[in-house]
A and B are shown apart, each in its own frame.
Chain A
Amino acid sequence: MPRQLALPGGLEHTLGPLGHGLLLTLAMTGLAFAGALVLGVLLAVCRISPVPPLRALGTAYVTVFRNIPLLVLLVLFVFGLPDVGLLFSLFATVTLTMALYWAAFVCEVLRAGIRTVPVGQAEAARALGLTAGQNIRHVILPQALRSMVQPLAGVFIGLALSTSLAAAVGVAEMTGQAEFTTLKYDQPLTTFAATTVVYVLITLTSGLVAGQIEKRVAVRR
């Protein structure tokens, strides 16, 4: 005879908010990563371009954003922007800040990936009469992208985990909801253990997905 399992009191009331927090976490992760990718590509183009001012701009950006802790940036943007008359929603402000911060890391991953392509490849392409654009599009990038998969997954995992910092500036994502739940039910260990499991699931999944992608696009040299 299967025994009836009694749900601890308030579990159904808890899963709602925690689920909502998880959605916010996923939305922030997805949007911020998309933003970081777009901006990171632009920055990487700046950093490898032959135009010195653009190169300097890219370098300066990466230096600034990589060397300020994300929490400091978050507090600065959330409480500083309204002082200069820019009051956006918390979610928008935090997601934008994350995108700006992680773009610096994405840029460096891309730059390193491009560096992995032997110079001989570019020279050979040029010798064949390909233009610079064709060279990047058909010769360098297809090879460079392969070596970027794992480092980009690393950035993605870092970003996913760093969304928990948003709780510190008032976004009720998964960690924020866990704080709410703790205030209500006084079960911190259970609540945070459950949250931890979800974070681990997110990061493990991204690791596995990255592994699959890498297998698909592996280049045999």
Chain B
Amino acid sequence: MHVRSRLSLTGAALAAACAISLTACGSSATLPTPKSSGGAAAPTFQQVLDAGPVAPASAIPDGSLMAKIKARGTLNVGGTDTSALFSLKDPVSGKLTGFDAGLAQLLAKYITGKAGENLVLVTADTRETLLQNGTVDTVFATYTITPARAQKVAFAGPYYSSGDAILVAKDNTSITKVDDLAGKTVCTESSSTAANDLKQYAPTAKVILFQTNAECQQAVEQGRADAYVLDQALLLGDQYRDPKVKVVGQPFTSEPYGIGVPLASPEMKAFVNDWLKQIQADGEWAKLWQATIGSVLSGSAPTPPVIGSVQGS
């Protein structure tokens, strides 16, 4: 039993509605299969960080936000610490691992020369505000790019494309696709907009918000909720670790994740986009995917989405 006396919401940001007409994001026609064996030796999370590039001095002009961060010596990152595969804190070592956490540390290293970040816990309620008032320099929190959000913050990226999938108890045969959620009790994480996607795709479903992935999973196991809707990679991770649940169907939304940067610092957005292109070109992005999300999925890393390809980025 997992008891936490903390009121931090887990961050998994998602889109309000599909006002975004996306070019078909090529979500594969079959469900990725969870890994069964180790397979080829992928680089470890730490090895990926150690290999990260550092920006040349010419990329950081005086007076820019990057120069300010470099002078400070730490990058203030808005993120979460309860999101498996994306940004999860090891309670023993205190280290953050995951795809988002890795990117944040790589960016910190690119600017300041060392892969450390100062994590500020954000929730879906606080992300925009903390970026606007300068508390954080950037947000890595499975932050879906939407035109509405792009009014308040700037998005570098997208750096990853995902989609909502459905997790049910092992013995459940009545739910196989999103239409089956009608009238059912569906839970999701409180800081994810899966809640809003559900309003659109399953308007008659009764939505319950829980704080963490573990609580949602528990609710499905105990029958409090019929299904759990969230990012497919996260759900596959749950299925991989817990034999009592399974992921069904294909993702029914497309979520382009972006890196939130202050709207007032356009130089930061361009800088982060250049850095993204660089780590995608030199294979760091793929290695990081292998070390994090790839640890529960088989197959090679997906092709990253084209930078600037989403409305709002």
Contacts and interface: CB of A to CB of B under 8 A. Distances in A.
Q: Do A and B bind each other?
A: yes
Main secondary structure on B side of the interface with A: loop
Interface in B195-222: 195-196, 207-211, 215, 218-219, 222
Given A76-B3, A80-B1, A167-B209, A182 B224 contact: no
Contacts of B16: 183-184, 186
A90 interface: yes
15 contacts: A71-B7, A79-B215, A80-B1, A168-B7, A168-B211, A170-B187, A170-B210, A179-B191, A180-B195, A183-B16, A183-B124, A183-B191, A183-B193, A183-B195, A184-B16
A170 to B, nearest CB: 4
Interface string A161-180: 00001011110100010011
Contacts of A184: 16, 196
B125 A188 contact: yes
A175 to B, nearest CB: 10
Given A79-B215, A184-B196, A192 B125 contact: yes
B129 A170 contact: no
B5 A71 contact: yes
A119 interface: no
B209 A69 contact: no
B72 interface: no
A82 B3 contact: no
A184 to B, nearest CB: 6
Given A76-B3, A179-B124, A186-B149, A87 B222 contact: yes
B1 A186 contact: no
Given A83-B222, A167-B209, A186-B148, A179 B190 contact: yes
Interface string A182-219: 11111011001000000000000000000000000000
Given A83-B1, A87-B224, A169-B210, 16 more contacts: A75-B3, A76-B3, A79-B2, A79-B215, A79-B219, A82-B223, A82-B224, A90-B208, A165-B7, A168-B211, A170-B219, A176-B190, A179-B9, A179-B190, A182-B124, A186-B148
A7 interface: no
A78 B232 CA distance: 26
Contacts of A11: none
A82 B219 CA distance: 9
Interface of A: 69, 71-72, 75-76, 79-80, 82-83, 87, 90, 165, 167-170, 172, 176, 179-180, 182-186, 188-189, 192
Interface string B1-26: 11111010100001010000000000
Contact of B4 (A75, A180, A185): A75
B149 A170 contact: no
A55 to B, nearest CB: 30
Given A79-B218, A168-B7, A183-B16, A87 B223 contact: yes
A108 to B, nearest CB: 22
B128 interface: yes
B296 to A, nearest CB: 24
A179 B222 CA distance: 25
B263 to A, nearest CB: 13
A71 B126 CA distance: 21
Contacts of B192: 183
Interface string B95-138: 00000000000000000000000000000111011000000000
B246 interface: no
A180 B224 contact: no
B68 interface: no
A188 B126 contact: yes
Nearest to B193: A183
Contacts of B126: 188
A75 B5 CA distance: 8
A80 B149 CA distance: 38
B89 interface: no
Contacts of A72: 3, 5
B198 to A, nearest CB: 11
A83 B191 CA distance: 26
Contacts of A180: 195, 209
Contacts of B277: none
A137 B211 CA distance: 47
Contacts of B4: 75
Contact of A170 (B7, B9, B208, B222): B208
Contacts of B149: 186
Contacts of B1: 76, 79-80, 83
B35 interface: no
A165 B129 CA distance: 22
B70 interface: no
A188 B129 contact: yes
Nearest to B192: A183
Interface string B68-106: 000000000000000000000000000000000000000
B184 interface: no
